Amino acid sequence: MTATPSKPSNGAWAKSRRGRPVPVDELLVLAYDTYWLEREECRPARRCDFVLVNLFREPLGAPMRPGALNELLAALSRRAELAREVHPHMLRHCFGSNVLEAGGALDEAQALLGHASAASTQVYLHPSHDRLRHAVDRVAARALPGDTR
């Protein structure tokens, strides 16, 4: 008999039921450390094992509901007077695009994003004008006079 996982108390579900490691960079570690210091001040939050919990809204210390991060980013977008609101998936898309733009291979981005298929990862490919220029220059360099191909 296979056990069916129960729905988390905040109503969130991961898209995939399979666990996987998710590497993070120093900036995220620093941000979470800062958050954790604030979280330690909230006594009810100490008992919760969720990554993000309510620190400023009732019920304090409870797992943050899925829409709360959307609301937080929308409020921060307005506060920063951005032309459009930032959404959580935009952050994911930006990360995937940045991995590929920085020279990461498609299979690396696929693994980091947790995609089962490389086709899902291809939507994160956005070649810059510089990369496109370099691609044209590479082709032109191979076709210089004297090339006997």
Task: Give pLDDT tens digits for 100-145.
Answer: 988 899 999 999 999 999 999 999 888 888 888 988 998 988 877 6
Q: Tokens standing for 32?
A: 């979470």
From CA 14, how far away is CA 19, in angstroms rounded?
9
- DSSP label of 47: G
Cα–Cα distances (Å) from 112 to 9, 41, 59, 85, 145, in that order, read: 27, 33, 33, 25, 43
CB 64 within 8 A of CB 10: yes
Domain ranges for the chain: 87-149
Mean pLDDT of 38-49: 90
Percentage of residues of the chain with pLDDT beyond 90? 45
Its sign, for the CA torsion 34, 36, 96, 20, is positive
From CA 89, how far away is CA 111, in angstroms rounded?
17
Give the per-residue pLDDT at 112: 92
From CA 100, how far away is CA 121, in angstroms rounded?
10
Mean pLDDT, the chain, as a whole number? Answer: 85
Beta-ladder partners of 63: 53
Cis peptide preceding 59, ω within 30 of 0: yes
Task: Give pLDDT tens digits for 56-115.
Answer: 888 999 998 888 889 989 999 999 999 999 998 899 899 999 899 888 999 999 999 999
Task: Give pLDDT tens digits for 15-42.
Answer: 667 777 888 889 999 999 999 999 999 9
- DSSP label of 15: S
